[in-house]
Amino acid sequence: MSLQLSQAKIAFVGAGSMAEAIVRGLIQTEVAQPGNIYMMNRSNQDRLAYLRSEYGLNASSDPQTKENYLAGADIVVLCMKPKDVESSFAELRSQLRENQLLVSVIAGLSIAKTEALLDTHMGIVRTMPNTSSTIGLGATGMSFSSNVNETYRGLAIQMFEAVGIVSVVDEDKLEIVTGVSGSGPAYVYYFMEAMTQAGIDGGLSLEDAKQLTLQTVLGAAHMVQHTNEEPAELRRKVTSPNGATAAAIEALDRFQFREGIIQAVNRSAERSKEMGEQIAAASTAGKSV
Ligand SMILES: NC(=O)C1=CN([C@@H]2O[C@H](COP(=O)(O)OP(=O)(O)OC[C@H]3O[C@@H](n4cnc5c(N)ncnc54)[C@H](O)[C@@H]3O)[C@@H](O)[C@H]2O)C=CC1
Ligand SMILES: O=C(O)[C@@H]1CCC=N1
């Protein structure tokens, strides 16, 4: 019988925000057992203690224990920052097996460069998830190397569908996915910060300003989801001719809100590509990024 996700041993190299978001989602949805999850970092013991006590999973920074975690894993998930790729990959190179599945969440790092840096032909799934995976509402873009078999392809999709939605895209689209949904939550939070601030400046209590902002964003997202109407049409329904909303949209247009968002998405995509290229360049030149 082929490997089931509920039985798979999953090792996370890097135990930061993105690794925790995925792990929390997997455990909460009961798609993975805490005992089958292994998390590793470089040295932060407090962080590992928190992860063990919060989720009941295995976590270590001890080199021998990490080697054992990797040796026993069916799926290895790369969750370190781009700047740590070079040093981390130097250790990993001799510890991975061709019959494991490698999942990378590292922004900008191509499958070809991952294969070259790790000197491997193992199946690689390059993903771009987001932190909303924490509560099962993640949005993940995903591409596969040509040698990912059907079982592993299914497992990877199942793993990220457990924590949200998955779009399988051509690899050259993962940068724009980063701009839209990888970085996207930050734009929404930034928007909420500004809206709350304006409410407070206008005399609302902090609590009221926060609640009204939150419910507005939640309600608007649910309206798009449940009515199946386009955002532009829903916006039109709020905007009475010559009314308050029309005046507000004019103000946003004066500040080039739409262009600002488009620029933000494109800059995130470009920066993600740059980070990936810097990793390879620095690695070839033998220096750290
Ligand atoms: N935070 C986000 O919203 C998203 C992040 N990503 C990607 O996820 C990756 C991780 O990002 P974050 O979780 O935000 O970073 P973070 O800084 O919160 O976590 C990075 C972790 O990697 C560990 N680490 C570094 N070197 C290591 C080594 N040699 N061996 C083992 N562990 C090592 C650190 O100790 C830390 O636990 C990045 O490559 C980023 O591009 C992708 C999508 C969204
Ligand atoms: O900011 C970053 O580089 C990562 C990638 C997308 C979200 N966080």
Instruction: Give me ligand 1 centre to Cα 145, in Å.
Output: 22
Residue 289 structure tokens: 């990024």
Helices (H), ranges, the chain:
17-28, 45-55, 63-72, 85-92, 111-118, 150-161, 174-177, 184-201, 206-227, 231-238, 244-254, 257-285
Spatial CB neighbours of 274, under 8 Å, sequence gap ≥ 6: 108
pLDDT for the residue numbered 3: 85
State the closest ligand 1 atom to the C-alpha of 183, by its place in the atom list counted from 1: 3
37-40 and 10-13 beta bridge pairing: parallel
Average model confidence (pLDDT) across the chain: 95
Ligand nearest the Cα of residue 90 is 1
Instruction: Give me ligand 1 centre to Cα 16, in Å.
Output: 5
Q: What is the mean pLDDT of each run of 10 residues along the chain (289 residues)?
A: 88 97 93 96 96 98 96 97 93 94 97 95 97 95 96 95 96 98 98 98 98 98 97 98 98 98 98 91 52
Q: What is the pTM of this model?
A: 0.94
Q: Tell me if 108 sits within 8 A of 274, measured CB to CB.
A: yes
pLDDT for the residue numbered 2: 80
Residues touching ligand 2 (Cβ under 6 Å) are: 107, 178, 182-183
CA–CA distance, 136 with 174 (Å, rounded to integer): 21
Domain ranges of the chain: 10-174, 184-255
Cβ–ligand 1 contact at 279 (below 6 Å)? no
Instruction: Give me ligand 2 centre to Cα 171, in Å.
Output: 17
The CATH class given to the 184-255 domain equals mainly alpha
DSSP code of residue 100 = S
CA–CA distance, 281 with 277 (Å, rounded to integer): 6
Homologous superfamily of domain range 10-174: NAD(P)-binding Rossmann-like Domain (3.40.50.720)
Residue 144 structure tokens: 């596969």
Instruction: Give me ligand 2 centre to Cα 183, in Å.
Output: 5
Nearest CA to ligand 1 atom 23: 14
Output the 3-class SS for 167-190. Answer: EECCHHHHHHHHHHHHCHHHHHHH
In sequence order, what DSSP letters do the residues of 133-158 get, joined into one string? GGGT-EEEEEEE-TT--HHHHHHHHH
Q: Tell me if 199 sits within 8 A of 212, measured CB to CB.
A: yes
Paired with 144 in beta bridges are: 125
Q: Tell me if 79 sits within 8 A of 109, measured CB to CB.
A: no
Q: Tell me if 179 sits within 8 A of 268, measured CB to CB.
A: yes
